[in-house]
Amino acid sequence: MGKIFAIMSGKGGVGKSTIAAALAEYYARQGKSTVLVDGDTGLRCADLMLNAQNQVLYDLGDVIEKSCGMDQALVLVPDISNLCLLAAPQLMKPSDLKAKDVGRVVTRLAEEKDIVILDAPAGIGRGLKNLLGAAAEPVIVATPDDVSVRDAEKLGALLNERDEPHPGIVFNRADKALVRRGEMAPPRLLAQALDMPLLGIVPDSRSVYRALLRHQTVLSCGDEQVVHAVAILAKRLMGQEAELPVYASSPILRFFHRRGEEA
């Protein structure tokens, strides 16, 4: 039985799908048979992130409705061996799918693949609930700001209420300079406040956005710090030892930052 990871976020715009696609690519390049399941019904994007939009003929909804076989719906991602994509239904609403049907598809994929990455829709609506109960390990993606942290806390509470596994958290777009000056809270402290294991810290990088504009993947963005951060996250998800980078505030820089604000 393969590992199943559900990549979630309490709000949109935090880079959840970007990290899901990056993880899927990383595992595939490590020789693991991997499938990325886009669970964002009506708002799919994983096909664009993997430059596979022209290969999609069938989707998750078609598999559930038995309009096609699983093999017909799985798209081989160009230029990345071992990676398949199961696209989200574009013309359905989340209410058109049932959690038990989605869970059955995910379980079947996990029986055939080493890694299944579920890119869940943002928020805590029906789309997310369709993916719960699929024996997935939940991973919450957030950015180190008050709004995103609050939404991550709410999502974590929902998972606990539904007796899902306790989630870990990944902080995306972290900025060491802002943390050192005291303008951004250290990811470790935020994870402790949320009572969630800190799984990864992905640095802020304009290279990632430029790569997406060029229809390139995150691992091809040219920023070695980002690529290394994805590798650390992927290893920690598999239970391997991988040390997280240190994001710590500087008392001296905090002092001068405060003095600058008071001036």
Q: State the pLDDT at residue 216.
A: 87
Q: State the pLDDT at residue 258.
A: 53
| CATH number of the domain that residue 191 is part of | 3.40.50.300
Secondary structure class of 51 (helix, strand, coil): coil
How far is Cα of residue 224 from the mean position of the Cα atoms in its chain? 19
Q: 231, exposed or middle or buried, with CB in 10 Å at 0-12, 13-18, 19+?
A: middle
Q: State the pLDDT at residue 99.
A: 81
Domains in the chain, number: 1
Secondary structure class of 201 (helix, strand, coil): strand
- Locate 140 and state its tokens: 């919450």
Secondary structure class of 184 (helix, strand, coil): coil
Q: State the pLDDT at residue 107.
A: 92
First to last CA, the chain: 60
Give the span between the Cα atoms of 1 and 108, in whole angstroms.
9
- Locate 220 and state its tokens: 């091809």
Q: State the pLDDT at residue 127.
A: 67
Q: State the pLDDT at residue 251.
A: 60
* Best CA proximity match to 105, nearest among 86, 124, 128: 86
Sign of the C-alpha dihedral, residues 176, 179, 180, 186? negative
Count how many residues are written for the chain: 263
Concatenate the DSSP letters of all residues of 203-224 into one string. E--HHHHHHHHTT--GGGSS-H
Domain that holds residue 140: 3-262
Q: How far is CA 22 from CA 17, 19, 143, 160, 233, in A?
A: 8, 5, 17, 27, 10
* Best CA proximity match to 80, nearest among 32, 38, 115: 32
Q: State the pLDDT at residue 10.
A: 92
- Locate 80 and state its tokens: 């990345």
Q: State the pLDDT at residue 126.
A: 66
> Is there a contact between 64 and 100 (Cβ–Cβ < 8 Å)?
no
Secondary structure class of 166 (helix, strand, coil): coil
Q: How much is the pTM?
A: 0.91
42-17-169 Cα angle (round to 5): 125
Q: State the pLDDT at residue 77.
A: 94
The parts of the chain modelled with pLDDT lower than 70 are 126-127, 130, 133-134, 250-263
